[in-house]
Amino acid sequence: MEPPPEQNRGPESCGAFPPPPPPSDTLAYIPIRFPAVNLPPSPTNTRETVMRTPVPHADKVEPLTLPHQFIAPSKRIRSPDHLAAFHSSPSFRNFLGFLVSLSESTKSRKLSDPCHLSPAVETLVSILQKLIDYVDQIPPAPQTARYGNVSYRVWHERMSGEAEAFMLMFLPPQLREAALEIVPYFTDGFGNASRIDYGTGHEANFAAWLYCLAKLGVVTEEDHQALVSRVFFKYMELMRKLQITYSLEPAGSHGVWGLDDYHFLPYIFGSSQLIDHKHMKPKSIHNDDILENFCNEYLYLSCVVFVKKVKKGLFAEHSPMLDDISGVPNWKKVNSGLLKMYKVEVMEKVPIMQHFLFGSIIKWPE
């Protein structure tokens, strides 16, 4: 029996890496070995941009002055010029500073550590738990496709239909009109019902919803630790359940050179949790015992566990970015690097930020 055609190919066409050139007379290039992992080239330009980017700093969120005229938010970013205008605005600096503040609030703290739990935070957690319960009530439809279970649309419709009632559970009487503006951030934070996908743009809208609550004074700086360890942790529980149950397609995935097919922020918050840990270092993600015993206490480790669960093969092959980060000497450097990377890889990308919403709380620069 003849071997398949692909086995008859010459060395010139057998893979992504061409045969090495012969050594020159000046020995300017001497091939040592082929690359150990057959990966597409890494985005070198992006890496250099991240390295040159200053580390973002925390910024205090000042609540809106009442009375205030709320409006339905809309999408405004359609080009790099629009994105540049947003990046030079106070709204952008304050939003990014809010995310840094959330990261700093959980520095060197486990998820189970005591924190201030306001009634508003407890209500937010209960809302997300209801959405988790809805998943159990809406089973996935039979399907053969890899992604996109249509039952997700049923779940999304139910969530959207109750969104305004959810907002009124924590908005005081003088802020009830704010529901008009914050509901779209909330409903966009769980994925797209038409495409049945989810990515860092949806995650950014959920973070923007939390920022809006801070601008409204519903949550304060005292709540920041709980926003990460209780609210965002519950959000991650919901999103992982949605991703698995309804086979959500990754939106705008960077392939193997992305941190995660779906998320970015839990790596920022999770690396901050591990800063100055006595025993766990970035390389500890390769220790399965550590992952198993501590993934429920540290967001970063829980994300690595999820990635290892859903992706097959060698970790260095399917997650080279996380593998590279594991070689960084300490978590403080990991955290600062991820903050810079988030600014470059998420906040400075038109395909992601074109879905970001602007209203009277997060203002579009005029």
As averages over each run of 10 residues, the pLDDT of the chain (366 residues) reads 44 42 41 41 65 90 96 96 96 98 98 97 98 98 92 98 98 97 98 96 97 98 98 98 96 68 96 97 97 97 95 92 96 97 93 95 94
Supply the pLDDT for residue 107: 98
Q: Which has the closest alpha carbon to 76: 351, 343, 358?
A: 358
Supply the pLDDT for residue 43: 54
Report the distance separating Cα 182 and Cα 176, nearest Å.
10
Q: Is 192 helix (H, G, I), strand (E, B) or coil?
A: strand
Q: How far is CA 26 from CA 18, 22, 33, 52, 255, in A?
A: 22, 11, 19, 35, 39
Q: Which has the closest alpha carbon to 190: 208, 168, 205?
A: 205
Q: How far is CA 318 from CA 258, 280, 321, 355, in A?
A: 10, 23, 9, 28
Supply the pLDDT for residue 336: 97
Region of 310 (left: φ > 0; alpha: ψ -120 to 50; beta: rest) is alpha
Report the distance separating Cα 79 and Cα 350, nearest Å.
7
For residue 133, count CB atoms less than 10 angstroms from its CB and return exposed for 0-12, middle for 13-18, buried for 19 or more: exposed
Report the distance separating Cα 331 and Cα 273, nearest Å.
9
Residue limits of CATH 1.20.120.1150 in the chain: 256-353
Q: Is 198 helix (H, G, I), strand (E, B) or coil?
A: strand
The answer to whether the CB of 141 falls within 8 A of the CB of 34 is: no
Q: Which two tokens stand for residue 165?
A: 């009632």
Q: Is 357 helix (H, G, I), strand (E, B) or coil?
A: strand
Q: Which has the closest alpha carbon to 245: 129, 160, 148?
A: 148
Report the distance separating Cα 41 and Cα 32, nearest Å.
19
- CATH for the 256-353 domain, from 2.60.40.10, 1.20.120.1150, 3.30.365.10, 3.90.1560.10: 1.20.120.1150
